[in-house]
Amino acid sequence: MNDLSRLSLNQRTINRWSLREAIEGCARHSIPYIGIWRDKLAEQPIALTNQQLRDANLKVSSLCRGGFFSAPTPQARAASIEDNRRAIEDCAAINAPVLVLVCGPAHGQSLPDARATVRDAIAELAPYAQQHNIQLGIEPLHPMYAADRSVINTLQQANDLAEQFNTAVGVVLDVFHLWWDPEIHQQIQRAAPRILGFHVSDWLNPLPDILLGRGLMGDGIIDIPTLRHAVDTTNYTGPIEVEIFNQKLWDTDPNQALTNICNAYLTHV
Amino acid sequence: MNDLSRLSLNQRTINRWSLREAIEGCARHSIPYIGIWRDKLAEQPIALTNQQLRDANLKVSSLCRGGFFSAPTPQARAASIEDNRRAIEDCAAINAPVLVLVCGPAHGQSLPDARATVRDAIAELAPYAQQHNIQLGIEPLHPMYAADRSVINTLQQANDLAEQFNTAVGVVLDVFHLWWDPEIHQQIQRAAPRILGFHVSDWLNPLPDILLGRGLMGDGIIDIPTLRHAVDTTNYTGPIEVEIFNQKLWDTDPNQALTNICNAYLTHV
């Protein structure tokens, strides 16, 4: 039996809501977790956000997003490290246990060099995360984002990376990015000690848009229950975060959208 | 030093040309190979095509395409096998040494079942290909096509499949599909005994369209020379086929497009 006790709303899913509106929306729909984005977090004072979270009895599943390490110049890379330190501090300030890392594109580096840059950046940040009691969650992104968002594109890569570090570094699984991978089940088992998040949405067929074409669970072709079962067997019991970038959903009345999301979650996850 | 001696024009690259026009265009541009599509092949009698190919001193690098095995019903699957037998006969009729296989989407099967369906179909077709002295080239497609075109999405998968068969089955490498893969260099080396084709285009960033957004070599972010070098070191000396699906290129004057393709090939492959 499914219920809403593990559901997290990644707030980008209801993009037009402010952070305050998203917190209130989760409370109205009895959603226990929220995934917060940094641009939304910046809308209001942290203390006010924490008060609103307490009032709504809402826990933060993750902060989105750190990363974008493989910047074009050493200066830009150093600035990215600094920005990620601020993100770690933000996590600590709102009790977000995980900073989700979208590791960044090659930016003119070769892919091996870009991937080494990512590793070096995580090595630099991991102790700072640990000092703040925050975990860094490497999220492998679908290979169609390799050119513009992340050179980490499979769970095997994310596992290879995360295993080089202690518990300050783990992986975040998103069915939209990983469903096609023939190695996915072995790699989920391998990730067991370090799964820091599980994201769900669906792959619409045909895909309406590279970036804003994700579907509501059940509307696409991903076998979500099988993937969820695989993640469940790792003993991951944390939040299951609904993260959907979809222009149609963004154009829907937010309360109706959230009702649809809860129903899709109960039926198709 | 590069020259045009290994260049093949995949005729879908100049989509508006008939087969006769494409053959004549290749002759005008001193292109020695052409990759033919079945729908275009059907435009005129085979004997006439062979005469035009001889007149143009043009060799056929491959026939596109067989595959689409994982059909929704047993009847559709059987029809697909029959259609692939016709494609093998077409190859033999025009001296195309390779039938390129786009293996097909899951069509409601689970991914493991769909992949087993692909394997079974190739097993059924391989002896027929061998009788006709034709090789079946498994082309792994980018994971963004896993839902609608092929459940074979990495060179590792294609190698795993091809190694189950004798020399009647090999792999076709396309930089557009494979460039992002962290395993690509190991898998190219592994594929050495069975590389049946090498396709080039580029990944534009941002990608303008999922299907019709491929770029001319040099216009995108793929490190084509490094991949070509890797393929060269396998001792593959066959045709290098330019296969670009791009609406803008299709809208360009075909002779100008072919001039641009030859220049891009000489400079960026």
pLDDT in tens, B162-200: 999 999 999 999 999 999 999 999 999 999 999 999 999
Give per-residue pLDDT as tens, A191-211.
999 999 999 999 999 999 999
Interchain CB contact of A113 with B (< 8 Å): no
Residue A167 DSSP label: T
Mean pLDDT in residue range A60-85:
96
Give per-residue pLDDT as tens, B7-45.
999 999 999 999 999 999 999 999 999 999 999 999 999
Residue in the structure block whose two tokens are 């109706």: A256
Q: What's the pLDDT at A92?
A: 98
Residue A223 DSSP label: -
Whether residue A77 is predicted with pLDDT greater than 90 in this model: the reply is yes
At B2, the pLDDT band (50, 70, 90 cuts) reads confident
Whether residue A233 is predicted with pLDDT greater than 70 in this model: the reply is yes
Whether residue B72 is predicted with pLDDT greater than 90 in this model: the reply is no
Cβ distance A182 to B210 less than 8 Å, yes or no, reads no
Question: How far does the CA of residue B203 sit from the closest CA of chain A (Å)?
Answer: 8
Cβ distance B206 to A147 less than 8 Å, yes or no, reads yes
SS in 3 state form for chain B? CCCCCCEEEEHHHHCCCCHHHHHHHHHHCCCCEEEEEHHHHCCCCHHHHHHHHHHCCCEEEEEEEEECCCCCCHHHHHHHHHHHHHHHHHHHHCCCCEEEEECECCCCCCHHHHHHHHHHHHHHHHHHHHHCCCEEEECCCCHHHCCCCECCCCHHHHHHHHCCCCCCEEEEEEHHHHCCCCCHHHHHHHHHHHEEEEEECEECCCCCCCCCEEECCCCCCCCHHHHHHHHHCCCCCCCEEECCCEHHHHHCCHHHHHHHHHHHHHHHC
ipTM over 0.95: yes
Cβ distance A207 to B142 less than 8 Å, yes or no, reads no
Whether residue A216 is predicted with pLDDT greater than 80 in this model: the reply is yes
Q: What's the pLDDT at A72?
A: 87
User: With the CA atoms of A245, A268, A98 and B181 taken in that order, what torsion angle do they form, in degrees rounded to the nearest 10?
Assistant: -70
CB pairs under 8 A between A and B: 75
Q: CA nearest A14: which of A248, A267, A266?
A: A248
For residue A6, whether the previous peptide bond is cis, meaning omega lies within 30 degrees of 0, is: no
Whether residue B131 is predicted with pLDDT greater than 80 in this model: the reply is yes
- Please tell me the least confidently modeled range out of B72-76, B140-144, B166-170: B72-76
Interchain CB contact of B110 with A (< 8 Å): yes
Cβ distance B143 to A206 less than 8 Å, yes or no, reads no
Tokens of A82: 């600094």
Interchain CB contact of B232 with A (< 8 Å): no
Mean pLDDT in residue range A216-220:
98
Q: What's the pLDDT at A1?
A: 56
Give per-residue pLDDT as tens, B201-246.
999 999 999 999 999 999 999 999 999 999 999 999 999 999 999 9
At B1, the pLDDT band (50, 70, 90 cuts) reads low
Rounded distance, CA A40 to CA A11, Å?
9
* Nearest residue, CB atoms, B148 vs list A106, A142, A206: A206
Whether residue A100 is predicted with pLDDT greater than 80 in this model: the reply is yes
CA B142 from centroid of its chain's CA atoms: 13
Mean pLDDT of chain A: 97
- All residues of chain B having their beta carbon less than 8 Å from the beta carbon of residue A161 are none
Task: Write the CA distances from A4 to A33, A252, A265, integer angstroms.
Answer: 10, 22, 8
Residue B59 φ then ψ, to 5°: -100, 155
Cβ distance A207 to B144 less than 8 Å, yes or no, reads yes
- Please tell me the least confidently modeled range out of A135-139, B1-5, B238-242: B1-5
Closest residue, chain B, to A183 (C-alpha): B157
Cβ distance B146 to A182 less than 8 Å, yes or no, reads no
Angle between helices B254-268 and B19-28 (to 10 degrees): 50
Rounded distance, CA B221 to CA B215, Å?
10
Please name the CATH architecture into which domain B7-268 falls.
Answer: Alpha-Beta Barrel (3.20)
- Please tell me the least confidently modeled range out of A89-93, B73-77, B167-171: B73-77
A242 forms beta bridges with: A9, A200
CATH class of A4-268: alpha beta
Mean pLDDT of chain B: 97
Question: How far does the CA of residue B226 sit from the closest CA of chain A (Å)?
Answer: 10
